[in-house]
Amino acid sequence: MTLPKPLLALLALMASAVVHAQAITLPDGTQVEDYEVGSGAEARTGRTVTVHYTGWLWLQPEEERGRNFDSSRGGEPLTFTLGAGDVIEGWDAGIIGMKEGGIRTLIIPPQAGYGAKGKGPVPPDSWMLFEVELIKVR
């Protein structure tokens, strides 16, 4: 599937904003920036969170760059326990501190994602860009 050039330009703009604006780089290399700060309960390690998300390949060879590889939109949101290893390291680290109702961009390097092996539609050594909306914290 080839993405239209306007969508690729939008993704490039989003990533540029994350890298150059108010992005925070975590110890694992994941970059986070809040697009919208929520006002509800805060996500902390050990809490169960429910999120909607969309993921794109990032910093790949041109033919793969910007390809959407997963999304919960149009389906059920994902529920997991933060810090339990249920999701990739970049998610466990990158969602901490979000508040319910918030939307955050995560740029996840290979070492905090699927690494040298890749997984499913994500090739080995892939950077990924996610938009994550925090729906619920329990």
Ordered by start, the domain boundaries in the chain are: 5-137
What is the rounded distance in angstroms from the CA atom of residue 51 to the CA atom of residue 38? 13
Residue 114 is classified by DSSP as T
85-107 CB burial, b ≥16 within 10 A, e <16 = eebbbbbbbbbbebbbebbbbbb
The CATH class that applies to domain 5-137 reads alpha beta
Task: Write the CA distances from 105 to 36, 90, 117, integer angstroms.
Answer: 10, 11, 24
From first to last of its 138 residues, the chain has per-residue pLDDT tens of 455 555 555 555 455 444 445 899 999 999 999 999 999 999 999 999 999 999 999 877 677 778 899 999 999 999 999 999 999 999 999 999 999 999 999 999 999 999 999 999 999 999 999 999 999 999
Phi/psi of residue 42, each to 5°?
Answer: -95, 140
